[in-house]
Amino acid sequence: MSPKTYSEQALRALVEPFANPVLVLDGEGRVRVCNDGYAELLGLPRDQVEGHSFLDFVQAEERSRLAERYQRLATGSPLDGRTQLYRVTSTQGRMTEVSVQATQVRLEGGGYGLLLCCLVQTQRPLELAVAERLVDTSAGLVSARSEEAVRRVALAGLEGAGFRARLLRWEGTRLVVRDGVSPPADAHLALEALSDGRPVFGGADHAEPTHAYLPVGGPQSEVLWVAGPWVAPRHGSVLTLFAKVVGAALADVHLQADGARSRWEVEAVAEMARFVAQPVPPPPERFLARVAELLKAQAVALHLVPAPGQPPQLSHQVGLEDEGQAQGQVGVGVDVERLTAVLATSSLRLDGGVVSSEVQGRMLETLSQGRFGTGAAARLTRGGEGVGAVQALRTKEKPFDERDARLLATLAELLVTLLEQRRLRAESARQLTETRLLLDLARTTSGVLETASILDVASDFLVHLLDVSNCFILLYDEQAKVLRGAAASVAHRDLFRTVVVPLDSDDLAARVARERKPIAIEDLTRGGASTGTGLVERLGEKALLGLPLTSREELIGVVMVDDVRGPRPFGPELIDLAEATCGQLALSIANARLYESLWASYAELAATRAEMVKRERLAALGELSAIVAHEVRNPLGVIFNAVASLRRIMKPEGDAAMLLDIVGEESDRLNRMVGALLDYTRPRNPVLQNEDLPRVLQDSLEAAKAQGATERPVRISSEVEEGMPPVPMDRRLIRQALLNVAVNAIQSMPQGGQVQVKARREAYGGREQLRIDVMDQGPGIPAELLHRVFEPFFTTKAQGTGMGLAVVKRILEDHRGEIAVESVPGRGTTFIFRLPLTQPLSFP
């Protein structure tokens, strides 16, 4: 029994093509529908037959038997498939014997019915047996479940009836026999049968026809070739009817197959839609793998168009891995790009899905070394524009059809949705990452108020944010009209600080600074672009982008980023992001400079205030020293005169002489202390002149050697860096400072030793200065006393005043220099003088 459910309309369409009587009974034995042949057999109009019990039209003697038999069938007894003979009574009282073949059918609304195919029995010649055989075969066609089964049953029925038969299919350009043998010699008659829709007999070399071409209705253009000893036009109606039954059976199974495939396709598309709609879109490879599974394809490839007007490029694929012939993959040496391009390019020009042609199939077979021989492809569209193609490949033994192409086209729409979801998700993730990075940069730079630190952080940040190889930042020197290398990403930080780019040069950085707009060179390997810094060859740069740093229309500098991996386009989105970052960076630099300027102002104000306090203290101390000196030196003069008079009058000896010596020495020390105090507090305005440093050193050391001469051997040496320029100084004051330090050095070596003096230029405090080191080999100064050596009145000598180093410190400060001390106990002491090499010859 066919699983198809028949409505009344479908039942009529089923029975009306038959010329012999055919009817359908419902579950209660009433005639549901009948054809004209059955109505004519009864001599009644159809409306007087349909709806009545079939028992009303059979011989009265058989009604009880047939009623009981039908009742058994209705209660579940199996159907006897053999042909039955019955007598039918017409309205004229004529009894007609008919042979009936019964088949169960499913009726719409539930329940089952019987399809009764009747043949009127007049006499039983050979034709009748053949007809009965064909009727039996027709009944068997109803239960066939596939096209192949229908064709197999039809050919077997014809062979059982004594015929030889074949099915020929028209493929648009030729007739093909389904079993693979060559078509008959007069196969052109088959085309005539197809075009006219009637039997065409052949056998021109015989007196009687030997074979016939019968058009078969159905989904395909097919012809039934039948050959036998009694094929003649008078039997054409029977054969034609059988061919129509075959066509109806093919149409039925094709309809069922189409319905089943449609349901499968809907379920498959729904499943793929759910697969695409996952919270995290799956990768394209997984989608292609599912496409391969649905279409039973050996390989599936995705081509995408990189940009409008460019050819499609292979983006993703499954089943084309070059793993060798042993695993069933494309073999070594196969050009996958050429293989997949066979259908990709042509499919971009067509809407919907396409199936490979014979020529394309041969190309696929050749390029794949025999693995593939057929393919289907579909165009991917976004906004009405083709953006790519997806294609599936199979062996030539399993060709694709139009249904596969339509399904692939539907799946291509889902693939576009998947790619768009992944693109949007990636774009959202990129924007989120960029926003977070920008916030991190703003947070970091807002918390740093040193320009150098901001530039170092920004250089490394831009490399990560823009996915470039290196970043270089140049700051604008307005006075010199040049761009100076200020910072670089970590790989070249030290290298770039020495770069200087004149603003009027052809260098890319200079052009960016002059034009105040981004300039990109996407391919430096082509030449013709001036970069000027010399880093292109040194770093192997392939692409370069320059961006201006401006704040309130003021040029701050230029940012340069490069890519050494290869040429790359700097798209509008990347440039916009880079400009936004540079805007934040320029604002941070401007704020840091304001802070540094304010801090410098505060420091200068504090230094000025300290200097004023110091000068006021020195003035007060000087005034006090003058008063003390006046009040002390008068008694000292009396003491000196009294001691001298006592020596003259008493001519003391022994203890008296010793006591007078002590009074004289202490009075002299007190006098020297008062003199040193006056010297320290006396206001000085150094008179600077460019002096020859070697000569100043020589005079100072000779005086020190004479003043500090002892019985112990002391060697004094000096060394001056070659090319030392004249130094602005007050020769008299610097000589005094060097003399004080050198005498201390000589006196610090009780066992003798060497005093070394070395002078050289040194970059210190952001400017070039003169450095003089005075080194001795004495016992050194304890660490806990180092911070006090320049304090007034601090001394470790029994006869010292404690003012020598204090005076030295003041002399150097009056020269806008400084003095420092380094000492290691047991290894000597070093005093370090620092004097500016460039300063005005008069102080304001």
CB 20 within 8 A of CB 120: yes
pLDDT at 566: 87
Rounded CA-CA distance 207/10 in Å is 43
pTM of the model: 0.45
- Among candidate residues 691, 695, 760, 757, the one with its CA nearest the CA of residue 722: 760
Site of tokens 């599912």: 290
For 837, residues 6+ apart whose C-beta sits below 8 A from its C-beta are 725, 727, 728, 761, 768, 769, 770
CB 299 within 8 A of CB 319: yes
For 458, residues 6+ apart whose C-beta sits below 8 A from its C-beta are 441, 445, 471, 473, 487, 581, 585, 588
Rounded CA-CA distance 462/441 in Å is 10
10-residue mean pLDDT profile of the chain (844 residues): values are: 80 89 88 91 90 85 79 74 73 77 84 85 62 75 79 83 83 72 81 83 78 76 81 74 83 79 82 84 89 89 84 87 44 72 80 84 87 89 85 89 86 87 80 69 63 78 84 88 85 76 87 90 72 67 89 87 87 84 80 76 79 67 63 73 79 79 76 66 74 90 78 84 89 87 85 89 84 91 82 65 76 87 88 86 50
Q: Calculate the CA 91 to chain-centre distance.
A: 88
The separation between the first and the last C-alpha atoms of the chain, rounded to the nearest angstrom, is 122
pLDDT digits (tens, 9 = 90+) for 330-345: 455 567 888 888 888 7
CB 141 within 8 A of CB 245: yes
Phi, psi angle pair for 455, to nearest 5°: -65, -40
Q: Buried b vs exposed e over 293-307: b needs ≥16 C-beta within 10 Å?
A: ebbebbbbbbbbbee
pLDDT at 328: 40
Q: Which two tokens stand for residue 458?
A: 């920004």
DSSP 246-308: HHHHHHHHHHHHHHHHHHHHHHHHHHHHHHHTSSSPPPHHHHHHHHHHHHT-SEEEEEE-SST
Rounded CA-CA distance 560/546 in Å is 5
CB 245 within 8 A of CB 15: no
Q: Buried b vs exposed e over 53-77: b needs ≥16 C-beta within 10 Å?
A: ebbebbeeeeeeebeeebeebbeee
pLDDT at 256: 79
Walk across the sheet containing 164-170 and list its strands. Answer: 175-177, 164-170, 222-227, 211-216, 200-202
Rounded CA-CA distance 609/621 in Å is 18
CB 167 within 8 A of CB 151: yes
CA–CA distance from 757 to each of 290, 373, 570, 671, 750 (Å)? 87, 94, 60, 32, 19
pLDDT at 548: 92
Show contacts of 198-201: CB within 8 Å, 24+ apart: 198/240, 199/233, 199/236, 199/239, 199/240, 199/243, 201/231, 201/232, 201/233, 201/236
Q: Calculate the CA 282 to chain-centre distance.
A: 15
Rounded CA-CA distance 757/625 in Å is 34
